[in-house]
Amino acid sequence: MITTDLTPGAPCWLDLGAPDVRAAADFYGAVLGWEYESMGGEGEDMEGGMFRKDGKIVAGLGRLTEEGARSAWMIYYTVTDADAAAQAVERAGGTVRVAPRDLGEWGRMAQFSDPLGGQFAAWQPGSNAGFELVDEPGSLSWTELYTSDAAAAREFYGAVFGWRYGDMELPGGGGTYVLITPAGQPEERMQGGLMEVGKEDLALAGGHPYWHPVFAVADCDAAVAQVEGNGGRVQMGPMEAEGVGRLAVCLDPSDADFVVLAPARS
């Protein structure tokens, strides 16, 4: 599972582009117990900042400014060289959406699309390695890609990040779920999965693949009640996933998707 020992190919950061920063801060505060720390501006002028859980940084939030873009979580993966990652993306048929650039002494970032349009990002750490809390209630515990072509996704992300894969058959003939482990790491360091779905299941992103975060919670049903009570919606669940836990697929008030998961007790 995800740890804060941020190795190459593992998720290290995520941020949300939201049309209403204040509303998003209030929503995730209610659902995940996050405290919002503004980096500038107040009220309608609020541009963005950081989310903290128990004093530790767990995610970022910024105003959605890209014309025609939907509100969504962007997941960043650790790389040793952002420029080399950009070259690998292009060689594998992907697109560089935001060219590698320095963010002061913090590090170097870039944003990409896979060949079918799924968006993701890379982070080359400087003084900042990424988030400070994972795999605990109110923090990231898993990343997941829905795609119309699992074989193509495996090939592309394997070429970019060197990921290793394992297949898990879903119960009831539900298909194959592909488990992702960063290169050189043992299976207990699995950090996510990808699943082939129909085009109709990708309507949220206009038919393109999309990544979404899975947030650990202590009580899935309580989290769902907060989602629904604060302007969000539930797409699926709550439901029990054998060996995984109780989960629900949710949308925030601006239709950014995420999952809440109360992990099964070992």
pLDDT number for residue 38: 87
The residue with greater pLDDT, 227 or 168, is 227
Band the pLDDT of 40: cuts 50, 70, 90: low
CA distance 81 to 248: 36
Q: Which of 13, 1, 10 is nearest to 184 (CA)?
A: 10
Domain of 136, CATH number, reads 3.10.180.10
**Domain assignment of residue 198, yes or no:** no
Question: How much is the pLDDT for 242?
Answer: 79
Per-residue pLDDT of 78-98, as tens digits, reads 999 999 999 999 999 999 999
- 160 domain-assigned: no
What integer pLDDT is reported at residue 67 of this predicted model? 80
Q: Specify the range with the lowest mean pLDDT, choosing from 15-24, 43-52, 152-161, 191-200.
A: 43-52
Q: What is the residue-averaged pLDDT of the chain?
A: 92
Question: Over the stretch 242-262, which tens digit does the pLDDT of each residue have?
Answer: 778 899 999 999 999 999 999
Task: Give the pLDDT score at 46.
Answer: 53
Write down the pLDDT at residue 68.
80
Query: Does residue 44 surpass a pLDDT of 50?
Result: no
Sign of CA dihedral 19, 20, 23, 24: positive
pTM over 0.85: yes
CB 180 within 8 A of CB 193: yes
Residue 208 lies in a domain: no
H-state helical runs in 19-149: 21-32, 82-91
Tell me if 83 is assigned to some domain: yes
pLDDT higher than 50, residue 45: no
Higher-scoring residue by pLDDT: 204, 231: 231
15: pLDDT confidence band, cut at 50, 70 and 90? very high
Domains of the chain: total = 1
Burial of 117 (0-12, 13-18, 19+ CB in 10 A): middle
For residue 203, being part of any structural domain is answered with no
Give the structural domain span for 114: 1-140+217-266
Inside any domain, residue 181: no
